[in-house]
Amino acid sequence: MTFPLRRRTLPLIAAILAGGLALSACAGPGSTSATSGSPTVADKAILVTSFGTSYNDNRDLTIGAVERAIQDANPGYEVRRAFTSQIIIDKLAERDGLQIDNVGQAMDRLVADGVKDLVIQPTTIMAGYEYTDLVTEAMTYQDKFDSFSIGSPLLTTDDDYKAVAAAIAKNTAQYAGDDSAVIFMGHGTSAPSNANYAKIGAVLKDGGYKNYFVGTVEASPSLQDMIQAATEAHVTKVVLQPLMLVAGDHANNDMAGDEADSWKSEFTKAGFEVTTLIEGLGQNPDIQQIYVSHAKAAIAQAAVTPKPTPDQSASGTASTSSTAAPMAAGQIKEGTYAITATSTKSMFKVVDAQLNVESETMTVTMTLSGDGYGKFSLGTADQAAKAVDSFIDFTTDDQGRHVYVVPISRLNQPMAIAAESMKTPGTWYDQTVTFWSDRIPAEAITI
């Protein structure tokens, strides 16, 4: 059975069709406002960033719903939209004539419009590569605003995990039972934040939500792990729902599709009665309010954070002779390569970097010049201070220097990393590091 829409979404759809909640300001070329019918506030804005989706109906029900909730809670701010997926942006422009800014375009527009106080609230589930790339790009603009802050992903603090667990369990309570398993399908990532899926699964279990499980499409826990969990729970029915902001391609195809390798098909072959809920997390009002609380926290943080001086800002990467375009793992033959790494701060010096490419993923084993920093976290220092997991620990080489294995998504592209002080644990510093491809042999580059 497939339920594309839940009963409580019908009034929202009716309102959208009536025009009361239309996102008309997003439809025209160059438009970035995420709301319509509200006056533009020239000096204060909240930029809500999302990966995006080409599923128009679900985009309004999820991304649009989060944006509206943030706008309703912050009437003194103009809420604007940006997508991080250029592929989605280009598809919408070609197919529908819908123009949506990427992060750089949105930031340039905010500067040109004279916005003074900016909060960026990502709709990412966790601090993975998408979040890191967003932070890196956005922080190059921070000295152009009087106040600037970036909100945390959905799953950051222990309280976030508990709130999300309660929200998704409440939303699926009608399906819970001794004979049923409710299984959420996340995306998965090679970043350390993939551990968040296991953590939210553990929080559900510890919270007493019986037969609730969380798996991923592209990492672990896997589909087979979920089938095994349902089997060991001795249930006969399985309810599948995406643990993603939107119910897009992964939900409609990887989860609920009729292909032989979809989650629905695999669970059916395993002997379970399967129900699929094509509903993104953004449709859940309780999830929307978690994003609202994160935006509120970012506003409060911006009010107490001094404006950075030019030398404190992540205003770009350190100089290098390389001008190569960003390069992904699929463009390099598997192996280990010595590479160059540069940072924007002289106190954060990388003295050795070894790139390892395996199964279209990349990690860098990087050695710092000393032992002044402890754990690393992908993303901002503020987010790292709030986080409870997904940290990168160090080892020590024979000279006492700290060595880290850092997963990366691209070479030749700045990357935001937060580093914890060894002298004052709990104190984090923003760093921007770029790993370069200029030393990789030409014969090892495949594209």
Q: Judge whether 8 lies within some domain.
A: no
Q: Judge whether 320 lies within some domain.
A: no
- Confidence category of residue 350, pLDDT binned at 50, 70, 90: very high
- Confidence category of residue 93, pLDDT binned at 50, 70, 90: very high
User: Residue 113 belongs to what domain range?
Assistant: 13-156+283-304
pLDDT at 36: 43
pLDDT at 323: 55
CATH number at residue 124: 3.40.50.1400
* Of the candidates 296, 194, 283, the residue with the CA atom closest to the CA atom of residue 242: 283
pLDDT at 34: 66
**How many CA atoms within 13 Å lie on the side-chain side of 171?**
30
- What's the DSSP call for residue 253? I
Q: Strands of 428-436's sheet, edge to edge?
A: 340-343, 428-436, 415-421, 373-378
110 shares its domain with 25:
yes
Tokens 């349902």 identify what position?
230
CATH number at residue 406: 2.60.40.1850
d(CA 142, CA 148) in angstroms, rounded, equals 6
- Confidence category of residue 21, pLDDT binned at 50, 70, 90: very low
- What's the DSSP call for residue 421? E
Beta pairing class for 273-277 and 335-338: unpaired
Which tokens go with 282? 């953004």
pLDDT at 412: 94
Query: Are 238 and 230 contacting, i.e. CB atoms less than 8 angstroms apart?
Result: yes
pLDDT of 397 over the 50 cut: yes
Average the pLDDT over 193-200 and give the result: 94
**Which string of b and e fits 360-374 if b means at least 16 CB within 10 Å?**
ebbbbebbbeeeebb
Q: Judge whether 168 lies within some domain.
A: no
84 shares its domain with 207:
no
3-state secondary structure of 207: coil
192 shares its domain with 102:
no
Average the pLDDT over 294-306 and give the result: 84
pLDDT of 191 over the 60 cut: yes
Average the pLDDT over 169-192 and give the result: 95
What are 240's strand-pairing partners? 183, 276
Q: Judge whether 139 lies within some domain.
A: yes
420 shares its domain with 436:
yes
Average the pLDDT over 368-385 and give the result: 94
Number of domains in the chain: 3
Q: Judge whether 323 lies within some domain.
A: no
74 shares its domain with 113:
yes
Query: How many residues are given for the chain?
Result: 447
Chain centre to alpha carbon of residue 283: 17
pLDDT at 39: 45
Q: Which of 105-119, 141-155, 308-322, 338-352 is predicted with the least confidence, judged by mean pLDDT?
A: 308-322
Q: Judge whether 432 lies within some domain.
A: yes
Q: Is 402 a catalytic residue?
A: no
Average the pLDDT over 417-440 and give the result: 95
Element of type H or E holding 78: strand 78-83
pTM of the model: 0.81
Mean pLDDT computed over every residue of the chain: 88
261 shares its domain with 366:
no
236 shares its domain with 350:
no
pLDDT at 306: 61
25 shares its domain with 139:
yes
Q: Which of 53-57, 89-93, 191-195 is predicted with the least confidence, judged by mean pLDDT?
A: 191-195
pLDDT of 373 over the 80 cut: yes
Query: Are 49 and 107 contacting, i.e. CB atoms less than 8 angstroms apart?
Result: no
143 shares its domain with 193:
no
Query: Are 246 and 126 contacting, i.e. CB atoms less than 8 angstroms apart?
Result: no
Average the pLDDT over 296-304 and give the result: 86
Q: Which amino acid is at 410?
A: R
288 shares its domain with 257:
no
Catalytic residue among 187, 250, 294, 402: 187
Q: Which amino acid is at 28?
A: G
pLDDT of 7 over the 90 cut: no
Q: Which of 242-256, 298-312, 356-370 is predicted with the least confidence, judged by mean pLDDT?
A: 298-312
- Confidence category of residue 2, pLDDT binned at 50, 70, 90: very low
Q: Judge whether 5 lies within some domain.
A: no
- Confidence category of residue 28, pLDDT binned at 50, 70, 90: very low
Q: Judge whether 167 lies within some domain.
A: no
d(CA 239, CA 174) in angstroms, rounded, equals 11
362 shares its domain with 436:
yes
46 shares its domain with 30:
yes
Percent of the chain with pLDDT over 90: 79
Backbone phi, psi, residue 100, to 5°: -125, 135
Chain centre to alpha carbon of residue 417: 15
Average the pLDDT over 83-92 and give the result: 97
